[in-house]
Amino acid sequence: MPFFFRRLAPYAAFFLIIQFLVRLTLMIRSSFDIDLTAYDILNIITRGLWLDAVTAAFVIIPIALIILAMPAKYWATRLGTFAEHALRFIFIYVMLFDAVAEHLFWTEFSTRFNFIAVDYLVYTQEVIGNIVESYPLTPLLTAIGIVAAALTWAVRKIQTQDTDSRFSMRAAAFGIYALLTIGLYAASSTAQATYSDNAEAGEIAASGIYNLFYAFWHNEISYDRFYAQRDPEQAKKIARGLFYENEDLLDENGDLVRIINPKGPEKHKNVILVVMESMSADFMGSFGNEENLTPNLDRLAKEGLFFANAYATGTRTVRGLEAVTLSVPPTPGQSIVRRPGNENLFSLGFVFRDRGYDTTFLYGGYGYFDNMNAFFAGNGFNVIDRTAFDKSEYSFANVWGIPDDDVFARAVKEADKSVAAGKPFMQLIMTTSNHRPYTYADGRIDIPSGTGRTGGVKYADYSVGKLIEFAKNKPWFKDTVFVFVADHTAGAGGKVELAPNKYHIPMIFYAPGFIKPKRFEAIASQIDVAPILLGQLNFKYRSKFYGEDLMHDDDEIPHAFISNYQKVALVKNDTITVLSPKKKIDQLSWPAEERMKNENTKLEDEAIGYYQSASWWRETLRRVPSTLN
């Protein structure tokens, strides 16, 4: 029995040492962004060591199975010695690769592994391609191999000469090991990394590998099980009160349906709604950036209806697409775009399709990624992704897709087809170019391709300018509304986990001669895009949208919804109300972002009413005819 555990010990030691170094280097990196006290450092190290010990028990299961299967005397042979060196090299290499991957992931998202990393394991083509194009992969992998070989050589003399080869003893030891592993798992949770309001410190204390497996098994989080709630009937009553405006709420077969019935005729303008990849508000000159990266967006902000305090609902593209298409608060876990049963929902696509519009979702990448093709095809859109582009239609492509300006050129062609057929059109375009590796065709802008985020931002803005240039030459331009909104910001990390300023995005409605220029200063949410747009068109419709037409619903206090994968929040007045697993509710002042001493129970009820009712989306968001008789 001692033989079994002596064989396992070096692997556990390697794992714990490498993970400690990962945590230490992340602390050093984060020290430039946040202040870590001695209390923080102590908690990070002790909590991290505990979670690493739990994770080590799982990580070395394959090693334990090999030791169980091989007699002890085998390891004393020349072949056995070589096999052990090879096994150690492979193990060390994988652990070092994980360490590097953790740092690259931290650079991109300021978190340890989470649901996003699970997505990356699923969509290997795009992710591997992105890594190949963004990083010097061959030198990186070679360097990892050299270090792994050096470490393997350094510990080559650590051998166990025990000749006890009885399988019964190894099986008994493996049984004890299995029970110990199960016990460690039962005593652990991802929440044990969190010890204060310092979100970034909690991320450093966490175990990336532990988080990865946890995320894999918890892709969707049950609201009713893990979050604060009210009795279902009370929650419905709260929701009714939140939605009630001028007696426009109906109960149709148990569903809450709002009746939007403005005076005057509908205006069947064309619509091009552009969801822009990673376009943080602070990239724009309109918000104080002095690098002149977004001259086109800044011009449109002055010439259109500009929402200066708009906020994304989450940190992933699918969250942004969910918000603008379904106008629903972000439910805990993965976006509805990625979940089963998400077809035939009350969507922006169906509202336009009910009125005879050509409705199209355009994406320069492969739309199977993030389930986009299936979601949009099931919710009122024709889908055009990279597979529908002829090679003559684009001058360049990277792993994420066709450049934005070439996608916009295709959008203009599709608009021409609709107009020629005598139909109005509604297009939802998802861009890709403002994403690592930030590559684009030469000669477009004055920043070389592939040199970083600033180039990606400036090229994305250049493409917006090309879209308007293309469209202005068309007879349908004067009858078209353009909407520009980001899917999420370029990064949402920081000391406070759900800080609204980290979700701040541009939102612009542009239609010369139709929409008057205005700067709207009140809070707005991504989920307000659909009702604001339909309000500008004076549509009369049944609605299941949670968002507000902020230009006409002046009796409602503007508010926003923000989230990460486990926490959701309502931002209203000067308060952030955060709902977390274990039915926890926190409130912070805003913009000071300090914990509030006296709870605002009214805002707590509102937050629960919104999110609890939104969690029933499979039943309550089913499609109903949007037109009014």
> What's the pTM?
0.78
Determine the Cα angle at 172 with ends 171 and 174, to 5°: 60
Q: How far apart are the first and last CA of the chain?
A: 79
Q: How sure is the predictor about 447, in pLDDT bands with cuts at 50, 70 and 90?
A: very high
The SS3 of residue 311 is strand
Helices (H), 244-279: none
For residue range 501-546, what is the model confidence (pLDDT) as tens digits? Answer: 999 999 999 999 999 999 999 999 999 999 999 999 999 999 999 9
Rg (CA), the chain: 27
Q: What amino acid is encoded at 232 in this protein?
A: P
Distance CA 517, CA 302 (A): 6
CA distance 186 to 629: 58
Confidence of residue 496 (pLDDT cuts 50, 70, 90): low
CB 279 within 8 A of CB 486: yes
Task: List 273's β-bridge partners, or say none.
Answer: 428, 483
The string of pLDDT tens digits covering residues 336-369 is 999 989 999 999 999 999 999 999 999 999 999 9
The domain locations on the chain are 2-217, 232-620
Asked whether the predicted pLDDT for residue 307 surpasses 90, the reply is: yes
Select, from the ranges 328-342, 386-400, 452-466, 569-583, the one with the highest average predicted confidence (pLDDT): 452-466
**pLDDT tens column, 47-72:** 999 999 999 999 999 999 998 888 77
Q: Considering the domain 232-620, what is its CATH architecture?
A: 3-Layer(aba) Sandwich (3.40)
| pLDDT tens profile 157-215 | 776 555 556 788 888 889 999 999 999 999 998 889 888 877 788 889 999 999 888 87
CB 406 within 8 A of CB 339: no
What is the signed CA dihedral for 144, 148, 151, 156, rounded to 10 degrees?
Answer: -170
